[in-house]
Structure 1
Amino acid sequence: MRFDTPTGPLEVTLSAAHVAGWTGRDRAAVDHHIAELAEIGVPPPSDVPLYYRVARDLLTQAEEVQVLGPDTSGEVEPLILRVDGALWLGLASDHTDRALEAVSVAASKQICAKPVGRGLWPLAEVESHLDQLRLTCDIEEGGDWVRYQEGTLASIRPLPELIAGAGLGEGAAMLCGTLAAKGGVRPAARYRMSLIDPVRDRALSLAYAVTTLPVVA
Structure 2
Amino acid sequence: MKFQTVTGVLDCTPDRLIVAGWTGRDRAAVDHHIEELAAIGVPAPSTVPLYYQCAPALLTQEPEIQVLGHETSGEAEPFLMRMDGRLWIGLASDHTDRALETHSVAASKQICAKPVADRLWSLDDIEPRLDKLVLKSWILENGDWTAYQEGTLSSILPLRQLITGAELVDGSAMLCGTLPALGGVRPASDFRMSLIDPERDQAIDWRYRSSTLRIIS
For the criterion TM > 0.5, the same-fold answer is: yes
SS state of the match for residue 88, structure 1? strand
Q: Secondary structure at the match of 2:193?
A: strand
SS at match of 2:37: helix
1:77 aligns with 77
User: Deviation of residue 112 (structure 1)?
Assistant: 0.2
Structure 2 partner of 1:207:
207
Report deviation, 1:13. 2.1
- What is the TM-score with the length of structure 2 in the denominator? 0.99
Q: Which moved more, 1:183-192 or 1:37-46?
A: 37-46
Aligned partners of 2:136 and 2:53: how far apart in 1?
A: 25
Letter in 1 for 2:157: R
Q: Look up the match of 1:64.
A: 64
Shift of 1:41: 2.2
Distance (Å, rounded) in 2 between the aligned partners of 1:68 and 1:176: 24
CA RMSD of aligned residues (A): 0.7
Distance 1:54 1:13 in 2: 14
1:177 matched to which residue of 2?
177
TM-score by length of 1: 0.99
CA distance in 2, matches of 1:37, 1:182: 16
The one-letter code matched in structure 1 to 2:12 is: V
Matched with 2:113 is 113
Q: How does 1:182-201 map to 2 (within 5 A)?
A: 182-201=182-201
* Distance in 1 (alpha carbons) for counterparts of 2:203 and 2:35: 36
Q: Retained in 2: the 8 A contact 1:15–1:170?
A: no
Structure 2: stretches of 5+ with no match in the other structure: none
Per-residue deviation at 1:88? 0.0
Count of residues paired in the alignment: 217
Deviation by residue 1:43-99 (Cα, 9 ceiling, x = unmatched): 211100000000000000000000000000000000000010110000000000000
1:6 Cα deviation from its structure 2 partner: 1.4
Alignment of 1:1-217 (within 5 A): 1-217=1-217
Tell me which amino acid in the other structure corresponds to 1:187: P
Q: Post-superposition shift, 1:42? A: 1.8
Residues in 2 aligned to 1:181 and 1:149: alpha-carbon distance in whole angstroms: 5
Measured in 1, the distance between the counterparts of 2:124 and 2:200 equals 13
- Percent identical residues: 64
What is the DSSP-based 3-state SS (H/G/I as helix, E as strand, rest coil) of the residue aligned with 1:182?
A: coil
Q: How many angstroms does 1:147 deviate by? A: 0.5
Deviations 1:181-216 (A, max 9, x none): 011101111111100001111100111011011111
Encode CA deviations 1:8-47: one digit per residue, 9 max, x unaligned. 1001121100000000000000011111222222221110
Amino acid corresponding to residue 93 of structure 2 in structure 1: S
CA distance in 2, matches of 1:189, 1:71: 10
